[in-house]
Amino acid sequence: MVNTNVIEIPQNNYDVVADYIADTIKEHLSIGEQVVWFVSGGSNVGLAKLARSRLNLRPYKNKLYVCLVDERFGPVGHSDSNWQHLLDLGFDMSNCQVYPIIKNKDNATDTVKEYNYSIKTLLSHGYYSIGQLGLGPDGHTSGLLPDNPLMDSKDYYGYYIGPDYQRITSTPKLINNLNEVVLFVSGHSKAKALQSMINKGSVNEIPARILKHVKKLTIFTDITIKGDI
């Protein structure tokens, strides 16, 4: 795994990870760059809020763009929406430009088409991009569940109907084009998935294996990894 760094942390310790994300964003903003931050839902919502609380964006108003790694499709503000979870938890949206996925579109196809266009346009400016990702016990990352139909997508985002939600998610194409990825993995239930991700094998079986090919990957985990990364 080229350009990979593993940082061991105490169990459920968000502070070190939040500091890293905030410091990385501040570093690039302070030298005049603009930054695109792709945040995840699920257990990563609290981490995103904590990292945002450590950012003073007043000197860099509208220079940070907050986007979603993935979303569960439905009406704006529905109870399973990752964006709504960010809002409910109190993620500070001030002094930054926000890019929610769901915008009152009637269907998921139009929604994902519009988001693809928005993100492609945003990234075409060459802004620094950082993805904040998690890992599921089944080996998924982003909204890419095992055996999903989007692993070879030519778009940055795609739509499919999963066993749980209608999912709009970033694809390997987007993730591999990010400047860096931060992966936060905590808890015994994810130990097997993390070890499987490190090991060789099919990305269809363990979609998180795509992260082994990103430009820069920092793994924060309280799990001991066996073998040489």
For 101-122, what is each residue's pLDDT tens digit? Answer: 999 877 999 999 999 999 999 9
Q: List CB contacts of 51: < 8 A, sequence separation 6 or more.
A: 17, 18, 19, 21, 22, 25, 132
Residue 2 pLDDT > 80:
no
> What is the pLDDT confidence band of residue 226, given thresholds at 50, 70 and 90?
confident
Question: Which CATH code, of 3.40.1350.10, 3.40.50.1360, 1.10.150.570, 1.10.3720.10, is assigned to 4-221?
Answer: 3.40.50.1360
Task: Report the pLDDT averaged over residues 194-221.
Answer: 96
Q: In what order do the strands lie in the sheet with 97-99?
A: 4-8, 217-221, 180-185, 128-134, 35-39, 64-68, 97-99
136-174 pLDDT, tens per residue? 999 999 999 999 999 999 999 999 999 999 999 999 999
Percent of the chain with pLDDT over 90: 90
